[in-house]
Structure 1
Amino acid sequence: MRGRGRAGLGLVAAGVVSVLVAGVASAAPQPGAPGVGDPYYPNAGNGGTDVLHYDIRLTYQPDSDRLAGTTTLLLTATQDLSRFDLDFALKAKSVLVGNEAATFANQNGDGELVITPAHPLLKGQTTTVVVAYDDTPSTEAVDGLHGWKHGAFGALGVDEPQSAQWWFPSNDHPTDKATYDVSIEAPDGNAAITNGTLVRKTQSRAGWTRWNWRSTKPQATYLTSFVVGKYEVNQSTTPDGKPFITAYGSDLGDSLYAAKASVERTPEIDAFLAAQFGPFPFEAEGGVVTSGITFSLENQTRPTYGLKNFVAGANTTLIAHENAHQWFGDNVSLGKWSDIWLNEGFASYAEYLWSEHEGEGTTAELAQYAYDSYAADDAFWQVLPGDPGEENQFDGAVYDRGAMALQALRITVGDDAFFAILQKWQATKAGGHGVIPEFEALAEQVSGKPLQALFQTWLFTKGKPALGPNGASAARAAAHALVKPKSFDQIRANHRMLAAAGER
């Protein structure tokens, strides 16, 4: 959620009794914070709770955009709680906490569902929270923003940095990851697609089919997708035996084959990326192509791609980008949204690696060409990849300069240390999250070299660095201009499309 203030919610005092323990009065249960204090989105997520699992059971009618059902959260209190928030844009009908009716309030337009349980939750206590709801997601806004997509293509709950709140109540911040069971009933002829493994598809009643999916690895809320509409769904297995599920909208037209020629190569591309970053971290692979968005997003196990990305033909650099996020962004998520470089810089560098693998320009050529493409006075160099600001979170500099920073790191520490750093980051942070200072410390530890100046220059200093990402001076690079690598136009087109969308 975007930053906002909240007022007028008084403490629940009735029934709260001070308790003396060893002669010292313990503090009365307090309300959980409305957010985790993220520097870009202070009210994103919630304080006082840790969600372990989401069980989401829904019925969706594409024609009317009506969404109804329940979400059951298994959560643990991380403090004594008199009340707590969930991030949710829709109108709740009822809330149970530990099987008892709870008092609740939908805050007007700020995406907060404020819940007061019948009895305070104690620190360390694990309980169920069952929220029933029935609403039209496309009519609901959070801070004036609409994150739900509805049209002739069906419906999409796909967006970044927030999308979950338009279809399930959650602790909507990447630092609180959970496992998922998602069951979506839709009219016959419509597919209902999300993350993980399709465990069952059944005729639930006359004219309706229910799709049941399971995600067994920790997953951030914004990476959890809702896709309902008319799609061609294909199921197979990867060479190493994982479920491989892809889906293509029925309205892709002349770009259908280009989309398939890209997405169907996902297992091949993931195998290549695994050789660079470590084993593929999840239980399934796949992808969805839709006309409902122009951008693409790295939804866990099954990225969602906008049709526009394939109008010029196959686009495997984009497949490499979004699937690199399965490691950088999904397996290891960012700790704060200001750490977006840990997602986008690494996924952009994966495009360089894949292009080199395909013989379309080396990583060194691509990074140097990107560096040479921007004059010293270009506004591009005023955006800091290490802390771009909310308004520039998905600026092209986060992608391109972010990838240049990694090439500069590789040149400085050498190939062996560079890839050891990337793989150790995955191994030590798997299933969790990290922040840029932690990555810097790991890079210094693995390489044995002081790297503070390098990171400061490439991530946190405005202006064009005097040395290019390959260690060449700007004057030398200008005097020896490189031939543009073949894949550069496609990579730049991908990044410009993402930046133009203002997201991803």
Structure 2
Amino acid sequence: MRRTFVAVLAAVSMTITGTTLAGTPAQAKPRVTAQPGSPGIGDSYYPEYGNGGYDVDHYDIRLRYNPANDQLTGTTTILARATQDLSRFNLDFLLNVSSVRVNGWSATHARAGAHELVVTPARTIRAGQSLTVVVQYSGVPSQVLYDGYTAWRRTADGAMAVNEPESAWWWYPSNDHPLDKATFDVSVSVPDGVEVISNGVQPRPPIGELLGWTRWIWRTTKPTATYLTFLTIGQYDIVTDTAPNGQQVINAYHVGLGELGNAARASIERTAEVVEWSSGLFGPWPFEAQGGVAGPLDGIGFALETQTRPVYGPGFWRRGSNPYVIVHEIAHQWFGDSVSVAEWRNIWLNEGFASYAEWLWSEAQGEGTAQEVFDFTYASYPESSSFWQVLPGAPGPDLIFHGAVYDRGAMAVHQLRLAVGDDAFFQILKAWTSSRQYGNGTIEQFQALAEQISGQDLSAVLTTWLFTAGRPDLTGGADAQARIAAATQPKSWTKLRESQQFLAR
């Protein structure tokens, strides 16, 4: 017994010192050195947006907001997974942070760059490890500027956090890029009598709290890009209904819209109808709820395809109802929300197709075919116009919302349709939205899919309309030029222009 015990001790000792019983060196395991996660996710247009080293699954955002002084306090819990060994990692955020915990341990934090919060955990994080990151913070968001502006717009009775390509920085820490989608729980406590609207469904009605405060709760169950989340707080009339597919419809109208209120309702209340029509073109509705928000007079000056529930500025209602902007934002729920850009250079996949959806609606409503809208749009921009110098497929970071991305972008979609024919075209749309549902895509990937389905080389048409400066020549020669010269204004044109005026910015 004793001799056996001694032999075992000797073997253990020899293994520890790097030698086996046979006298050969033991195989040493390579040491892995943890590295900082990158301060950007790799976007060519916005290199510092998003972060590397982890992937977020879920955000739990718990806030308290006082409209009287614009004071916001919050705790956001981030559930994520490390994609590398991490010594530290970044979050995109701008407000004052009081504490950060990682997996229950207090972590140090520091500012870096314009919007980076650098978190150093007490313990090294290993690749594949689950992360629970709890950030506590506060601030007056309307007074916190990035590049001279704030995406948190304070209004007379509340606030709006609605913007693209960034808005989360002013109300919750995040990995702020469409490549890292997640689900969301948003809980906001506000004074009694104030409404809070956000994405998704309401799992339960607002809950009264002590001392005159009420907590509103919203839940998003499908993967969502951070810029597609939103918050609007103030005095709203909330209208609930059930869509033809059985889903919850929640529409909200700011009570201060005055004479614009009826036009807003006449537009947004058609959302369920537009969803049903769009589903026939693009495939099943990809999300858990439907609706829209008509913001206040002192709110935003544009519309945004915030997931499940787009938000509209008041300018769209100044000349009466406008279903075309509803069509545009609902089309984005497939093109931009469910299938998001892999990089912001691919913005044509969002705006070109949402704009073309308006042309398809015009065709369906008998207010001008897509060809008639194309002809009049093309004729509206003379060859000498600088409009033709902006490339929808590569507009550059300062021009991603230029009118050419919308109008020339839609013209490019129409040229694709003419090249492949209607059967293949509409098959391509549904194949794209289904094959990349809740994911991301690039123009190159879209082209590959379109070529696979159509059996055609589409390089020439897409290069001409997306990546070549100048007014493209039309196929058809003299006949095409004669058609353009004779183009007349479609019945839908006025509403299409009103829609585009506030969408491009």
Which TM-score tier does this pair reach, normalised by the shorter chain?
over 0.9
More displaced stretch, 143-152 vs 332-341: 143-152
Post-superposition Cα deviations, 1:409-461, rounded to whole Å, max 9, x if no partner, equal 11110111000000000110000000100000000000011101110000000
Going from structure 1 to structure 2, the CA distance change for 1:370 and 1:66 (only over 3 Å counts) comes to: same
- Structure 1 counterpart of 2:60: 55
Cα distance between partner residues in 2 of 1:395 and 1:367 = 18
Task: State the partner residue of 1:348.
Answer: 355
Provide the rounded CA distance (Å) in 1 between the counterparts of 2:248 and 2:26.
Answer: 54
Q: Distance in 1 between matches of 2:137 and 2:27?
A: 45
- Taking the aligned partners of 2:458 and 2:154, their CA distance within structure 1 comes to 47
- 3-state secondary structure, aligned to 1:51: strand
Which residue number corresponds to residue 145 of structure 1? 149
Q: Does 1:42 align with 2:58?
A: no
1:312 — aligned with what? 319
CA displacement at 1:22 relative to structure 2: 4.8
Secondary structure of the 1:25 match is coil
- Identify which range, 380-389 or 485-494, moves more after superposition: 485-494
State whether structure 2 residue 473 is matched by structure 1 residue 466.
yes
- Code of the residue aligned with 2:414 in structure 1: it is Q
Q: Which residue of the other structure, out of 257, 261, 272, is the alignment partner of 2:262?
A: 257
Q: Is structure 2 residue 399 aligned with structure 1 residue 395?
A: no
Corresponding residue of 1:183: 187
Structural mapping, 1:8-407, within 5 Å: 22-23=27-28, 25-107=30-112, 110-200=114-204, 201-291=206-296, 292-407=299-414
2:482 is aligned with 1:476 = yes
Q: Which has the larger radius of gyration?
A: 2
CA distance in 2, matches of 1:23, 1:451: 54
Structure 2: how far apart are the matches of 1:436 and 1:363? 22
Matches of 1:249 and 1:322, distance apart in 2: 19
Deviations 1:129-169 (A, max 9, x none): 00011111111112333111002041011000000010000
Give the Cα–Cα distance (whole angstroms) in 2 for the partners of residues 89 and 53 of structure 1: 20
| 8 Å CA contact 2:301, 2:313 repeated in 1 | yes
User: Aligned residue for 2:22?
Assistant: none
In the TM superposition, what is the alpha-carbon distance from 1:234 to its structure 2 partner?
A: 1.2
SS in 1 for 2:464: helix
Residues 46, 172 of structure 1: 8 Å contact kept: yes
Q: CA contact under 8 A between 1:408 and 1:471: conserved in structure 2?
A: no
CA distance in 2, matches of 1:211, 1:393: 34
Contact 1:372–1:477 (Cα < 8 Å) also in 2: no
Instruction: Extract unaligned runs of 5+ from structure 2.
Output: 1-24
Range with bigger deviation, 355-364 or 21-30: 21-30
State the Cα distance separating 1:191 from its structure 2 match: 0.6
**SS of 2:503 mapped into structure 1:** helix
Aligned length: 478
Matched to 1:30, the amino acid is Q
Counterpart CA distance in 1 for 2:477 and 2:251 is 42
Please state whether the residue corresponding to 1:394 is helix, strand or coil: coil
* TM-aligned CA distance change 1:188 to 1:401, over 3 Å: same
Q: Report if aligned partners of 2:375, 2:484 keep a CA contact under 8 Å in 1.
A: no
Contact 1:52–1:75 at 8 Å: present in 2 too?
yes
Query: 1:114 and 1:492 mapped to 2: Cα distance?
Result: 44
SS in 2 for 1:392: coil
SS in structure 2 at match of 1:252: helix
| One-letter amino acid of the structure 1 residue matched with residue 149 of structure 2 | L
2:173 counterpart SS class: coil
The answer as to whether partners of 2:79 and 2:132 remain within 8 angstroms in 1 is: yes
Q: Distance in 2 between matches of 1:72 and 1:382?
A: 45
Per the alignment, residue 428 of structure 2 pairs with 421
Deviation of residue 498 (structure 1)? Answer: 2.5
Separation in 2 of the partners of 1:21 and 1:101? 38
Given residue 475 of structure 1, which amino acid in structure 2 is its aligned partner? Q
Percent of aligned positions that are identical = 53
SS at match of 1:390: coil
Distance in 1 (alpha carbons) for counterparts of 2:32 and 2:443: 35
Distance change (3 Å), C-alpha of 1:387 and 1:471: farther
Cα offset, 1:474, TM superposition: 5.4
Structure-2 separation of matches of 1:114 and 1:21: 39
Measure the CA separation in 1 of the matches of 2:433 and 2:481. Answer: 37
Residue 489 of structure 1: CA displacement? 1.9
Report the residue type matching 2:52 in the other structure.
Answer: G
Structure 2 CA distance for aligned equivalents of residues 333 and 471 of structure 1: 37
Contact kept, 8 Å, 1:153 with 1:251, in 2: the verdict is no
The alpha-carbon deviation at position 477 of structure 1 amounts to: 3.0
2:155 & 2:229 partners in 1: Cα distance?
20
TM-aligned CA deviation for residue 497 of structure 1: 2.2
Partner residue in 2 for 1:438: 445
Shift of 1:476: 2.5
**Paired residue secondary structure (2:99):** strand
* TM-align CA RMSD: 1.5
Seen in structure 2, the aligned counterparts of structure 1 residues 127 and 472 have a Cα distance that, compared at 3 Å, is farther
